[in-house]
Structure 1
Amino acid sequence: MGTRLDDWAAVEELSRAAPRKVIPCFGVHPWYAHLHALTAEQVAHPTTLLEPPPPPKGNDRPNDSNRPTAATTTPPNDPKPPEPRPLLPALPPPSPPEAWLGRLRALLLRHPHAAVGEFGLDRGAVLPGTRLQLPRPARRQRSRQPREWTRTTPPYCGASSYGGSVDLVRGFTCLPGGVGERVYFSFSSVINDRPGPARAKLLARLAAVPLSRLLIESDQNTPGAVDAGLLAILGAAAEARGMGVEEVAQATTANFRRFYGASLAAMAPVAGGAEGRAGSMEGLAAG
């Protein structure tokens, strides 16, 4: 899954090397939103991507001066966040919108089975004192791509390694117009399964998600830890739902095939042409 313009070529190369095993995903992780400009002004003046927003005025000012606003991740009672300016000269210049959006469109055209991702918001990875507003328009811009090309989208906004509340699960799955029926929730042990009270919250979330919308992931950055991570979160899901591990594995496998159904269907002829034979859906999903 791509995280920024600079790694899309590696994602494409991997998908070509293993066409029966890899569903390429091209997107921008919120950690790298500042490297992808949306306007000419941001290209000409990159500091506008990270400069803190102006303080609230008049009636917009919070009652509690220590309360964090929507533009900062600094918790209450913490010292004033550091100014980001010392960091700015060390950052590479942002890519202009015509460069990275044009590249994204070209990749989606070239790979009909590709998904759009990763993209979204990440409350845990924002430079203190800088804009949260930046990932939001970037997310809106990238969300137009899957609608334009009818692609699967795995957004990074809590539904991936989901850390939201049980009430939000119910709210998402009840969205009108059939939208709620297309929302899935994925969990990983490395992000979600922590000792103490966090464990109880994870089990509650795992129990609240409809079984037909439950996905699991490793969320690891090294292949050697993937299998153990998947087994760990499978065990937690089985515990939360009072089911056997094998039963949960079968359900989440079926959900994966449904979530990535369009990609899997498009991969079969691609794989057949690349390897001289068409891979079965079973083989694709198992890979």
Structure 2
Amino acid sequence: MEANFLWSETCDAHTHAHDDLEHLEEIGNLKTNKVCLMGTRLEDLDVVSKLATDFQVKVIPCFGFHPWFCHLLSLENEPESKFHYQTILKDIGPKDPSRSNYLEEFIDTLPLPKPFNVWYSKLENLFETYPNSLLGEVGLDKTFRLRDQQSKKLSQVQTTMQHQTVIFEKQLDLAAKYKRAVSMHCVQSTGAITQLLDRRINKQEPLPPRICLHSFGGSVDTIKFLTKQKKKKEGISVDIYFSFSFVINDKYDRLPDLIRAVPEDRLLIETDYHSPFGLDDYMAMIIKLVSEAKEWTEAMTVEKTRKNFVKFIGESV
């Protein structure tokens, strides 16, 4: 069926299409005009950077370390592996004598953590190399459990919120320094994010100019609180955007209410999809959902979200 909008105006604010390593060339064939490719860990940052070079018109490179992988990052330049993991991981399983060594055995399967100077300088170098790059995907996740290295199933081990927060803030520091927008993962952590932003503003600690809470699944009240006014104090400010995807958000009955709560000038759309195959379809689906919730035509949705996208990434596209 023919689209009721111009594909040449569509902008995907958050995708992982590069995870499909066997079909990277298909990213260049997408109908979606602009895609923000989200790095998540040290291993995929070079993939994102190469695609940004290969498809300069289409790809907005985004570099960052996802909370699901931040346990692999040390704050020391010469980390001692076991001590690092013992400090930042916790066993949330049942208190049973039969599993008293569960965490230690889990730690023994993990790779050596990346020294601070390695991962931090890598991120900074990428920001310098790609002036149009963003920070992402980064953030906080209160519920995620690490995967077992052998079975690949979810374990009973979590990264402490303290470590997640420190790694997250180190990355925010870089985004603030280079004035880059941020695509943020936030799962059951909206309170922590709000407190973090308030603290940095009140202490006049630098913040990135713009932050997008992607595939947002929080509350209408949170949207209203974060967008009712620009958070500003003596020159420290940040504009908060919200983005929605069909892949993640369609399961929420309250999705139309969330979309309606976002101010017209702070709304973005995304696919959050892990392959170029099907990405355009998911883009069309979220355009349809947003249009229905906002009572806009699909052409209006594309036009408005493109305008917001241009403001969010900080340049003309």
TM class by shorter chain equals 0.7 to 0.9
Amino acid at match of 1:156: H
Amino acid at match of 1:171: F
User: Which residue of the partner structure matches residue 33 of structure 1?
Assistant: 70
Post-superposition offset of 1:261: 2.5
Post-superposition offset of 1:183: 0.9
Post-superposition offset of 1:129: 5.0
SS in 2 for 1:52: strand
User: Which residue of the partner structure matches residue 250 of structure 1?
Assistant: 303
User: Which residue of the partner structure matches residue 246 of structure 2?
Assistant: 189
Is 1:112 equivalent to 2:135 in the alignment? no
Post-superposition offset of 1:176: 2.8
Q: Percent sequence identity over matched residues?
A: 32
RMSD of the TM alignment (CA)? 2.3
CA distance in structure 2 between the aligned counterparts of 1:148 and 1:43, rounded to whole angstroms: 30
User: Which deviates more, 123-132 or 242-251?
Assistant: 123-132
CA distance in structure 2 between the aligned counterparts of 1:51 and 1:181, rounded to whole angstroms: 31
User: Which residue of the partner structure matches residue 23 of structure 2?
Assistant: none
Alignment check: 8 A CA contact 1:36 1:94 kept? yes
Post-superposition offset of 1:40: 5.0
Post-superposition offset of 1:80: 5.5
* Greater fraction of residues in strand: 2
Alignment check: 8 A CA contact 1:115 1:151 kept? yes
User: Which residue of the partner structure matches residue 221 of structure 2?
Assistant: 167
Alignment check: 8 A CA contact 1:47 1:88 kept? yes
Amino acid at match of 2:42: L
User: Which residue of the partner structure matches residue 264 of structure 2?
Assistant: 211
Per the alignment, do residues 175 and 123 of structure 1 end up closer, same or farther by CA in structure 2, a change over 3 Å counting? farther
SS in 2 for 1:23: strand
CA distance in structure 1 between the aligned counterparts of 2:54 and 2:110, rounded to whole angstroms: 32
Stretches of structure 2 lacking an aligned partner (at least 5 in a row): 1-37, 147-155, 188-212
CA distance in structure 1 between the aligned counterparts of 2:95 and 2:296, rounded to whole angstroms: 48
CA distance in structure 1 between the aligned counterparts of 2:297 and 2:111, rounded to whole angstroms: 49
Amino acid at match of 1:100: W
Larger Rg: 1
Amino acid at match of 1:184: Y
User: Which residue of the partner structure matches residue 151 of structure 1?
Assistant: 180
Amino acid at match of 2:221: D
Is 1:231 equivalent to 2:284 in the alignment? yes
Alignment check: 8 A CA contact 1:126 1:132 kept? no
CA distance in structure 2 between the aligned counterparts of 1:243 and 1:80, rounded to whole angstroms: 53
Is 1:93 equivalent to 2:112 in the alignment? yes
Deviations 1:191-225 (A, max 9, x none): 0101xxx22x1111001001111111000101112
Is 1:176 equivalent to 2:231 in the alignment? yes
Alignment check: 8 A CA contact 2:256 2:293 kept? yes
Structure 1 length as normaliser, TM-score? 0.75
CA distance in structure 2 between the aligned counterparts of 1:18 and 1:221, rounded to whole angstroms: 18
SS in 1 for 2:60: coil
Post-superposition offset of 1:181: 6.7
Alignment check: 8 A CA contact 1:172 1:180 kept? no
User: Which residue of the partner structure matches residue 52 of structure 1?
Assistant: 90
CA distance in structure 2 between the aligned counterparts of 1:49 and 1:112, rounded to whole angstroms: 36
User: Which residue of the partner structure matches residue 140 of structure 1?
Assistant: 169
User: Which residue of the partner structure matches residue 67 of structure 1?
Assistant: none
Post-superposition offset of 1:228: 1.3
Alignment check: 8 A CA contact 1:189 1:233 kept? yes
Post-superposition offset of 1:152: 1.5
Stretches of structure 1 lacking an aligned partner (at least 5 in a row): 54-71, 265-280, 282-287
Alignment check: 8 A CA contact 1:114 1:151 kept? yes
User: Which residue of the partner structure matches residue 63 of structure 1?
Assistant: none
SS in 2 for 1:28: coil
User: Which residue of the partner structure matches residue 11 of structure 2?
Assistant: none
* Greater fraction of residues in helix: 1
Post-superposition offset of 1:18: 1.2
CA distance in structure 2 between the aligned counterparts of 1:234 and 1:49, rounded to whole angstroms: 44
CA distance in structure 1 between the aligned counterparts of 2:95 and 2:299, rounded to whole angstroms: 50
SS in 1 for 2:126: helix
CA distance in structure 1 between the aligned counterparts of 2:80 and 2:171, rounded to whole angstroms: 18
